[in-house]
Structure 1
Amino acid sequence: MSEPREVAAPFVVPGPSGVAIRTRLKELTADDEKVLCLVGEHLGSLAARDLKARCAAGLEHDSEQWAQRKRFLTEASSSRWAGSITKATHDQWALARRAQLAHIQNLEAGIEAVEHRLSQPVGQKGSKKAPGGYRSRREWHAKSRRLRVLGDRLEAVRADREAGVVRVVRGGKRLLNTRHHLEQARLTEEQWRRRWQAGRRFLAADGESGKKFGNETLRVTPDGEVSIKLPAPLAHLANAPHSRYVLTARVRFAHRGEQWANRVAANRAIAYRIHEDTVRGRWYLTASWAIPPVQTVPLATARANGVIGVDTNADHLAAWRLDAHGNPTGEPRRFDYDLSGTADHRDAQVRHALIRLMHWARRHGLSIAIEDLDFTTETTREKHGRRKRFRNLISGMPVSRLRARLVSMAAELGITLVAVDPAYTSRWGAEHWQKPLAGKTRKTSRHDAAAVAIGRRALGHPIRRRTAPPRTHQSDGCGHRTVQARPGTPRREGNRPRIPGPRTRSAGAGRGENAADQNAEHRSGRSAEHGSWQQDSLPLSL
């Protein structure tokens, strides 16, 4: 447990595989909203039945059962509605399986942490590499009971996974639990009921290339007319031929509107989804389509001009530009964001911080190096115990939102992303770079040093700076005096070029230019005058 884990190699992040844009359905009449509610509730009830049947089948599900479910849904709607419902059901079941596996891994990590701390003597202090024992006998006893609870939960979840059992709530488990805490949520029962009904509606249809305007079920014309193919039991509500209902609202996509118009004109597949925001009292239309995978550049090309190392924090992004040799250049940059307030405000804050970072990288033609973060196991109370502030700090970091935004925005601007292993970047960055990069006019923070460490790892350089030889044997007998010059480096033992003027504040001009002349070295038995061995404060690229 105390051994450092192996650091994974950096890689170029692939671009997004799809696009989603949203607009508001304005000027809907009361009849329009009534039809949308009736269609959504009818299809939502069919989706609930289909999800129940899929969960009951478990791991024994096959194509024959899928066809049987689709035939049942077609009788109460249409073949295309049935296809959209079954596809959404399969996606939801697969997502529940992935969440189940993540829950098992989280329980295993918690059990491992508790078992380790229980094995330590009470009051034993921990180290940077491993936690110690619990503070008191009372806490030790409580955690031993906690261990039994976690073990029972893990056994039950493993049994469910082996049997193919998943637990899914249409509308969301969080909203379901809110029903029992209306006062804390500051909601009335009527408000909660409206949210619950809106969350359980189903108004989504997959696109189909070759059909008129790319979608036969939910159709949007180039001039913004929205029409819905009504299910068979609601066909009497149609106000247009072929059992269609045309909304009075006209839509226009401000973002990527030209791309959407080109796909509609070419009858290429576009998926649509209609949902209601009960808090604002608005209806929205979301259009999405798949895009061909973006051709990623080789890692060597991404490193050619250097990178911008970025350290992600709870309230800002710390960034520093590095050249191709791994040396920090210029001044560190800080891109702040405020994650308080509503979800839309938080999303806008992250987006504004990222666009400033993107413009900086695009202006200098550089790639962006960022950590491949995953704090799933870092927020558990079993690992960090009573450190609630630290757990809340990690939980508040917008890792998933920032990652999704960063990938899509970088692909749009043609900027390459390099993901690195986050192991020890903050610790090693502060140890090797925070103090050397600080000066009289610049105060380097721990986050700035971590950005340098991230950038060096993305470039393939070690995080450590040049180090002095061992004190007991200051010669090449214990290996070369620097960790940057490898045995195969050309002219590594040759004379350094003489640079006029002082190289650093501590070493004069021309100091060390006769590195290959053994008599010019400060070694025992040589004719050179003995003196203290000087080491440059910062690495200089040869």
Structure 2
Amino acid sequence: MGGVRALAAPFVVSGPSGVAVRDRLKHLTPQDERVLRAVGEHQGALASRDLKVRCAQGLEHGADTWAARKRELTKVSSSRIAGAITKATHDQWALARRGQAAHIRSLEAGIRTLRHRLSIPVGTKGTKRATGGYRSRGEWFQKSRRLTTLEARHAAAVAAWQTGRVRVVRGGKRLLNTRHHLAVAGLTEERWRGRWEAERWFLAADGESGKRFANETIRVTPTGQVSIKLPAPLAHLANTKHGRYTLTSTVVFAHRGVEWADRIQANRAVAYRIHLDAARGRWYLTASWQRPLVQAIPWEAARAGGVIGVDTNADHFAAYRLDTHGNPVGEPHRFPYDLSGTTSHRDAQIRHALTRLLHWAKQSGTTGIGIEDLDFSTEKTREKHGRRKRFRQLISGIPTGKLKARLVSMAAEQGLVIIAVDPAYTSMWGGQHWQKPLTTPHRKMSRHDAAGIAIGRRALGHPIRRRTAPPPHDRRDRVRHRTVQAAPGAREREGTRPPATDHAPRDVPPNGTRKRQPSAPKTVRDAPRTHQWIQHPLMHTGQERWARTTNT
């Protein structure tokens, strides 16, 4: 076990810090749509201009430059709209900065792997803990060229990081590249242009606590009436007083509607965003607000009612319920999903599988769900897995970040706690210690089911290895049932109960006698009467030697 790395302790994942609900704006008039398009285009142009200025400033940004940008935007909009635009710009720049740092780490991981494999002789076989050399001199040559390419990319990325230069595309890089592949995407230039412009619009407003209905720019009344504060150049489009435009459509938040109504009636901040789904031609309104940070419950309380260990795979969740002692209870459960197809289809599949998992967890009476703290950011590199393209596609297809965020938010609504554990060796040790003992003619245990048990035991704080207590000195009524839990330092207690070999034959009734005759006794007292013990006449004085003879 000297090569096993140190394992991180399990921890309780903090609950969601924000909430977002959405509803469709139905029955909009042509005038409503013209006003929304005009406002979105105007404010979108301002947001693009502000983002360009912010990216040009790089690391030389400060409070003075922020205030200067906001003053320039206020002249052509309003103070609140300028504040929302500058805040969105900073969030977008910070997101690009984090993506740049992740890209640098990925390049460094690939460079380390390439240098290691290039330093090994060609043909050296790898192990489970370390990669081997390349298969041929040709492959070694190609990888040496790729190392030079990655080093050049890394140098350019580090230089951009040090100067604060980021690359941001308002509207999305993927949609921008689609412009060059319209036939493959099934789009015309006009339809693509409509999507591109809609993605670059800006129709959002931050909430303000203490103001009427918690937002002055985009106001939604408890009855669902939506009104917008128009920017100064578009004030002539207002249909109500104070330069506001009221839409004919109303919204009704079916999900969390009561919580939203309580917030706006108490004038607590709620942010709104209006956007157009150009593919469907539908307008939507999204409301979001922050939740107060709640102290996570202690880990001891989270595991008091047992946990459900969940193993995340490319096409299903493998879950197993464990009691507080780490013993598996019941049968394994699997919740399949399909991650092929469109983004909305994949999201719906994950949401449906998580819903079924949480309902089963709630019905079983457990208090927590144990899940691996997965992060494949350093595992997706082509340099590490080489020709294993299928495996690289497998781990790249598991949406670990989105899965964890959605699971935490959905579990909070059910009153369940998420416990994150170290993912190291869960599949290997689970299959080694739990797959075979739990396999029966009526239960087919997979390696993923056994990994769920390993994850659950680690979430409970127990070792993964299956240990059994010694046989009871008396009946089971005195020392209770046998347990599979022992102290971590206990020795010579691993393994299953040895199989019984002295059962009665199946063809003998319960009250019948055994066919096997008892063996001959080895003591004088229990000798049969057909045997007689005499003293051997050739023994010396003071010595006794007995021989058994048979009476005839």
TM category (shorter chain) comes to 0.7 to 0.9
Deviation by residue 1:251-298 (Cα, 9 ceiling, x = unmatched): 111111111111121221110000010111101000000111233210
For 2:438, what is the secondary structure of its paired residue? coil
Cα distance between partner residues in 2 of 1:373 and 1:68: 43
Counterpart for residue 186 of structure 2: 186
Superposed counterparts of 1:42-441, under 5 Å: 42-366=42-366, 367-441=368-442
Offset of 1:137 from its aligned partner? Answer: 1.2
Q: Which runs of 5+ in 2 are unaligned?
A: 471-483, 504-552
Cα distance between partner residues in 1 of 2:3 and 2:498: 38
Q: 1:307 to 1:31 in 2, by over 3 A?
A: same
For 2:331, what is the secondary structure of its paired residue? strand
For 2:75, what is the secondary structure of its paired residue? helix
Deviation by residue 1:308-333 (Cα, 9 ceiling, x = unmatched): 10001111100001122212121111
Deviates more, 1:344-353 or 1:230-239: 344-353
Cα distance between partner residues in 1 of 2:27 and 2:6: 58
Letter in 2 for 1:16: P
Q: Which runs of 5+ in 1 are unaligned?
A: 470-481, 494-501, 510-542
Q: Is contact 2:122–2:140 with CA below 8 Å preserved after alignment?
A: yes
Deviates more, 1:375-384 or 1:279-288: 375-384
Q: Is contact 1:16–1:294 with CA below 8 Å preserved after alignment?
A: no
Cα distance between partner residues in 2 of 1:11 and 1:158: 34
Offset of 1:400 from its aligned partner? Answer: 2.3
The size of the alignment, in residue pairs, is: 486
Q: Is contact 1:9–1:421 with CA below 8 Å preserved after alignment?
A: yes
Q: Is contact 1:314–1:398 with CA below 8 Å preserved after alignment?
A: no
Cα distance between partner residues in 2 of 1:46 and 1:233: 12
Q: Is contact 2:311–2:455 with CA below 8 Å preserved after alignment?
A: yes
Superposed counterparts of 1:487-502, under 5 Å: none
Offset of 1:3 from its aligned partner? Answer: 4.5
Deviation by residue 1:170-222 (Cα, 9 ceiling, x = unmatched): 11111111112222222211121111101110011000011111100001111
Letter in 1 for 2:262: N
Deviation by residue 1:117-169 (Cα, 9 ceiling, x = unmatched): 11122122211111111122111111100001101111111111111111111
Q: Is contact 1:315–1:339 with CA below 8 Å preserved after alignment?
A: yes
Offset of 1:467 from its aligned partner? Answer: 8.7
Cα distance between partner residues in 2 of 1:395 and 1:508: 54
Q: What TM-score comes out, normalization by structure 1 length?
A: 0.86
Cα distance between partner residues in 1 of 2:85 and 2:500: 72
Counterpart for residue 480 of structure 2: none
Q: Is contact 1:204–1:271 with CA below 8 Å preserved after alignment?
A: yes
Letter in 1 for 2:73: L
Counterpart for residue 446 of structure 1: 447
Offset of 1:507 from its aligned partner? Answer: 7.6
Offset of 1:242 from its aligned partner? Answer: 0.9
Cα distance between partner residues in 2 of 1:321 and 1:483: 16
Letter in 2 for 1:292: P
Cα distance between partner residues in 1 of 2:374 and 2:163: 32
Q: 1:430 to 1:503 in 2, by over 3 A?
A: closer
Cα distance between partner residues in 1 of 2:417 and 2:502: 41
For 1:435, what is the secondary structure of its paired residue? helix
Q: 1:33 to 1:507 in 2, by over 3 A?
A: farther
Counterpart for residue 485 of structure 1: 487
Cα distance between partner residues in 2 of 1:177 and 1:52: 20
For 1:76, what is the secondary structure of its paired residue? coil
Cα distance between partner residues in 2 of 1:23 and 1:297: 33
Q: Is contact 1:308–1:368 with CA below 8 Å preserved after alignment?
A: yes
Instruction: Indicate the structure (1 or 2) with the bigger Cα radius of gyration.
Output: 2
Q: 1:64 to 1:461 in 2, by over 3 A?
A: same
Counterpart for residue 460 of structure 1: 461
Letter in 1 for 2:414: L
Offset of 1:483 from its aligned partner? Answer: 9.4
Deviation by residue 1:22-58 (Cα, 9 ceiling, x = unmatched): 0001011111111111111111111111111111111
Cα distance between partner residues in 2 of 1:101 and 1:76: 35
Counterpart for residue 478 of structure 2: none
Cα distance between partner residues in 2 of 1:255 and 1:304: 31
Deviates more, 1:392-401 or 1:134-143: 392-401
Cα distance between partner residues in 2 of 1:244 and 1:351: 38
